[in-house]
Amino acid sequence: MPPYVWLIVFHPILVTLIAILLLVPLLRWTGLGARYKYRILLALLAAYVVDSAFALPRIVFAYGLSKTPVVAQQIPLPRRLVLVDIPCGAKCHDLLISGAVEEIISVTPGRPRFSTLTAAVRYQAGWTIPGGCPHEREKENRDPSFAQQQSGYCPLVEPVDIPKQGIFLVHETEQVTASETARAYTSAYLVKAPPSPVIHFSGTEVQDRASGGTTVLASSYHYEAPGLLGLPPLIGCWNRPDNVIWIMPPGDTGCGLWRWFTWGGGDRGSRDPKWVFEQAFGLPDHPVVPPQRPEVPPATPAQALEILSRVWTIEFYFPRLRDALIDPSNPDQVLNDLIVSHARRGNLEGSLIALLAEKRPAALVGLSSRLNPMPQTFARSGEVLDEMERNAKFRDDFADTMFLVLQSRWEPPQNTGRFLKLMEVNHPGWLCDKLDRMKGSAEISKILAKDAVKQNRTQCTR
């Protein structure tokens, strides 16, 4: 039987009410209620106390957790950090770039639904041509900063054995879905573990692991688990924490006696490890020597094309790659393909079009017929308009394409009016002629929706 049917048929409030309506007449009819009412009440109270005693360790554990990260002992930043299931973001890699940390080892624990193997890799500072970092290295720097992107920072990555000793930054989590009942939790790396069963538990610890044992230097936890039985006790079946038909009080999933949640700790500190790098460590106790940055040669034409083809936005890399990109060794068709590939991802890149209009106009031939579907955004449209104002031939050759691109969102939006004014000054009646030719086409409705088109269209009826 599907869970939602249980919830309709065995709604805890309805089931409990029906049980009471049946039980009270039965006790009166048999005389057991009058004869043993105090014993019955005492037995129910004793059962409640016994059940509460079983829940007490979970409640005490929950209330003993701090809502904010706790730093028991701040230590100098070590030469090596071992991260267990903690992503190494931009701030983490800045430690390698500065030389404050010489190496970072990232441990990825095995997961039952994916790989059961635990793997470890070592990060060290490295550089390549900006934008040319191989994917297997680039993905190890999650959310890189602008300065890292501009410098071409690309961490060196190699597999290593998992260390036994050192400073470990450890994260573990257990999440029980709403369709499952609470279950036991066994920690693999954390020193602190909650009493079972749990609904959700996540923890982050900074550990000093040595041959003599493990010391927790800083920590943050979040915990949710089944707590006390409600008063009055409810019986039935329910989902956690709510259902699309009705909202129930927070409690464990399943059928039987309903019980409240107990919870404690801070969810943000246990999920986001930024506080570790900001609070858990002091200044390094060793000489800080930035790693030597190698001399990286300029990008070749092929590398420039590959980099700009791979990245989602070209603005970070385009200025230093533009000269290599337009080298004659890159064919016109390949440059045309580059524009189309970005357009199909959603962006028509104005800076790229303006460059080709000036240096490689043949690469723009036939572009309008390939913009299908039309890109969502026309980025840096002003650069194209600047070139159209300088170059009359490009203006007239590319005007039809610009008209079709009116279906897209221009950045900035006021450039649509600038474009129409430019065409009207040089070719009076141009817009009216284009609208008349496009009448009945699938694209015309989106073009007519533009405010600038509405304003300039009024002259067509005069």
Q: What is the DSSP string of 270-289?
A: HH-THHHHHHSEES-SS---
In a domain? residue 260 = yes
From the list 359, 364, 320, 315, the residue with the least C-alpha distance to 340 is 364
What SS3 class is residue 304?
helix
Bridging pattern class, strands 70-71 and 259-265 = unpaired
For residues 264 and 339, membership in a common domain is answered with no
Instruction: State mean pLDDT over 239-264.
Output: 68
For residues 230 and 316, membership in a common domain is answered with no
In a domain? residue 256 = yes
Dump pLDDT digits (tens) for 336-378: 999 999 999 999 999 999 999 999 999 999 998 898 888 999 9
Q: Is the pLDDT of residue 28 over 90?
A: no
What is the amino acid identity at position 194? P
Phi-psi region of 355 (alpha: psi -120 to 50; beta: other; left: phi over 0): alpha
In a domain? residue 234 = yes
Dump pLDDT digits (tens) for 78-127: 999 999 998 888 888 999 999 999 999 999 886 654 344 578 899 999 99
Instruction: State mean pLDDT over 38-62.
Output: 80
For residues 332 and 455, membership in a common domain is answered with yes
In a domain? residue 287 = no
From the list 347, 358, 413, the residue with the least C-alpha distance to 388 is 358
Most confident of 192-206, 268-282, 383-397: 383-397
What SS3 class is residue 404?
helix
Give dist(CA 127, CA 154) in Å, integer: 5
For residues 253 and 395, membership in a common domain is answered with no
For residues 38 and 108, membership in a common domain is answered with no
For residues 167 and 207, membership in a common domain is answered with yes
Give the domain range for residue 306.
Answer: 301-461
**Least reliable range by pLDDT among 5-9, 133-137, 222-226, 354-358:** 5-9
Instruction: State mean pLDDT over 240-265.
Output: 69
For residues 138 and 273, membership in a common domain is answered with yes
Last residue of a domain, one of 282, 310, 330: 282
Number of domains in the chain: 3
For residues 82 and 8, membership in a common domain is answered with no
For residues 275 and 323, membership in a common domain is answered with no
Bridging pattern class, strands 166-175 and 80-84 = parallel
In a domain? residue 326 = yes
Cα-based distances in Å from 161 to 25, 140, 333: 70, 18, 48
What is the amino acid identity at position 17? L
70 exposure class (CB count in 10 Å sphere: 0-12, 13-18, 19+): middle
* pLDDT at position 277: 85
For residues 263 and 388, membership in a common domain is answered with no
Q: What is the DSSP letter of 28?
A: H
In a domain? residue 333 = yes
- To the nearest 10 degrees (0 to 180), the angle between helices 350-359 and 381-390 is 20
Give dist(CA 247, CA 320) in Å, integer: 57
For residues 364 and 388, membership in a common domain is answered with yes
Read off the pTM.
0.73
pLDDT band, residue 132 (cuts 50/70/90): confident
Higher pLDDT, 340 or 447: 340
From the list 276, 347, 358, 346, the residue with the least C-alpha distance to 101 is 276
Dump pLDDT digits (tens) for 155-180: 999 999 989 999 999 999 888 877 77
For residues 201 and 129, membership in a common domain is answered with yes
In a domain? residue 92 = yes
In a domain? residue 90 = yes
